[in-house]
Structure 1
């Protein structure tokens, strides 16, 4: 299986408007209209040529699906905007959960224990058991 070239991912703007239109099953003029309406915002080259990513192609297909279900272009724009907001909020929640978990583990009074053949030993927050196979038990402080 071929690997993805280094530095490329689903957001890499690599497709011309003709290639993007073919991949999405749409006419190039439709892509231009969607760009004007802000439904899909492709990257631009130094010469102002549109370049689409795989993420853009997926979004074009989503617009096409919603349009086929009878949703107006303004309705589609609102749906996509809410979907983008939702994705950003979910990512922010994950960041905050990780920060909170880190903060909780750093609080005084939080103890982590390892259980092994020699018995129970206390560990520093963030430390790993010294011996493989030891079970780690975390007990939050009681308030």
Structure 2
């Protein structure tokens, strides 16, 4: 009877965007072969940082993205072209959400400015004349 391979879970806490894992460690954390990581980099699915000597350094964000890619390919049955499209759409959605938040902030600021300008005008006015009253 063959021995069963048990999976070990390793938890590492690092700054999420900082490249700290060499390719062998990142591959193990993502449960992939290092060559798969190189292929994903060639396709533009992942862009690890580089050390001054050119060694690939993967961040926790990179490892999370690798796991997400693996989930899409194995569990959802997407091919890499589909994964590329999903990731591109997610990036567009994130950019649109950021832009919406910025516009909402600008709108709130404009409202505050208008309210600040309207209050002094209403205090100095003694009567309001509607356009329909003037004939």
Give the alignment's TM-score, normalised by structure 2. 0.71
Q: What is the CA-CA distance between 1:38 and the residue it aligns to?
A: 0.6
CA shift for structure 1 position 82: 0.8
Instruction: State the shift of 1:47 in Å.
Output: 1.5
Cα distance in 2, alignment partners of residues 49 and 103 from structure 1: 49
Aligned to 1:31: 37
Distance of 2:112 and 2:23 partners within structure 1: 50
* Aligned twin of 2:23: 17
Q: CA deviation at 1:110?
A: 5.5
Q: 1:43 aligns with which of 39, 46, 49?
A: 49
Aligned partners of 1:77 and 1:12: how far apart in 2? Answer: 23
Deviation of 1:9 (Å): 2.9
Greater RCO, CA 8 A, separation 6+: 2
Match of 1:132 in 2: none
- Greater strand content: 1
1:82 alignment partner, one of 58, 65, 89? 89
Instruction: Name the structure 2 match of 1:71.
Output: 78
In our comparison, the structure showing a higher alpha carbon Rg is: 2
**Structure 2 residues without counterparts, runs of 5 or longer:** 1-12, 121-135
Q: Which of the pair is proportionally richer in helix?
A: 2
Aligned residues: 105
**d(CA) in 2 for partners of 1:27, 1:100:** 49
Instruction: Measure the CA separation in 1 of the matches of 2:21 and 2:68.
Output: 18
Name structure 1 gaps, 5 residues minimum. 112-143
Task: Normalising by structure 1, report the TM-score.
Answer: 0.68
RMSD of aligned residue pairs (Cα, Å) = 1.7
